[in-house]
Amino acid sequence: MSIVDNLRKIKEELPQEVKLVAVSKTHPASLVMEAFTAGHNIFGENKVQEIVAKQEELLQDLEWHFIGHLQRNKVKLLIPFVHLIHSIDSPRLLREVDKQARKAGRTVDCLLQVHIAKEETKFGFSKEELISLVESEEFKSLSSVKIRGLMGMATFTENDTQIRAEFRKLKNLFDWLRKEKFADGEFDQLSMGMSNDWKIAVEEGSTIVRIGSAIFGER
């Protein structure tokens, strides 16, 4: 199927209130344009060099989301244009985003990435680390980042029961934080679900899905 057909099919099934980030990593800007021409304008990338290059090449009114592991020395390249950073995975990274955003005179929306998968390799905070971060004095002093919610990746497995349990755990943590720690009402985004598990994620309360191969094909 074509990109246009893939997008249409996913959007038919996706509840209207759930945001679709089309993950264009490794694919050329021409395919991003193909999706844009079909009416989609929200894209995600996991490498700084690639997101910057595409953003410069396309110069369209696209909404760029950063979803990959972010090195602190590259933060400032994203700050001018990034719409949402999904992948804040350490206090030091958050501090750097705050610093660079302040210098640039903007506020940057961020999600805190939580480690929910069994795999060792996936980045993110544990529940304990997350709570200690949001309770710290330093966290309260950040002025130029806005924490909009959480992001997580389930284990890469065929076992739907396990995937569902991991997403449910993340949703419970999200609900608890929203109620106990972020009462301002702007902690409202839960980014979970990829090509192989987005339907489960949506059933478990996702508000943003990040879908790559089911739109653009295999990488």
Ligand X SMILES: *Cc1c(COP(=O)(O)O)cnc(C)c1O
- Chain positions contacting ligand X, by CB under 6 A: 23, 25, 46, 67-68, 153, 194-196, 210-214
Closest separation in Å from C-beta 88 to ligand X: 13
d(CA 176, CA 91): 20
Strand 19-23 to 42-45 pairing = parallel
- Of 68 and 149, CB closest to ligand X: 68
Radius of gyration (C-alpha) of the chain in whole angstroms = 17
56/44 Cα distance (integer angstroms) = 15
For ligand X, which is the closer residue by CB, 90 or 99?
Answer: 90
> Closest CB to ligand X among 66 and 142?
66
| Least Å from the CB of residue 153 to ligand X | 6
Torsion sign, CA atoms 46, 47, 52, 57: negative
Q: Give the nearer residue to ligand X in terms of CB position, either 99 or 115.
A: 115
Closer to ligand X by Cβ: residue 25 or 54: 25
The residue number with the shortest CB distance to ligand X is 212
Work out the burial of residue 34: count CB atoms within 10 Å of its CB; fewer than 13 is exposed, 13-18 middle, 19 or more buried.
middle
**In the complex, what is the shortest distance from the CB of residue 113 to ligand X, in angstroms, rounded to a whole number?**
9
CB of 212 to ligand X, least distance (A): 3
Minimum CB distance to ligand X, residue 29 (Å)? 17
Q: Return the SS3 of 15.
A: coil
Tokens of 110: 């961020």
Residue whose CB is less far from ligand X, 35 or 142 = 35
* Strands, E assignment, 8-126: 19-23, 42-45, 63-66, 84-88, 108-114
Give the shortest CB-86-to-ligand X separation in angstroms. 7
Distance of CA 3 to the CA centre of its chain: 21
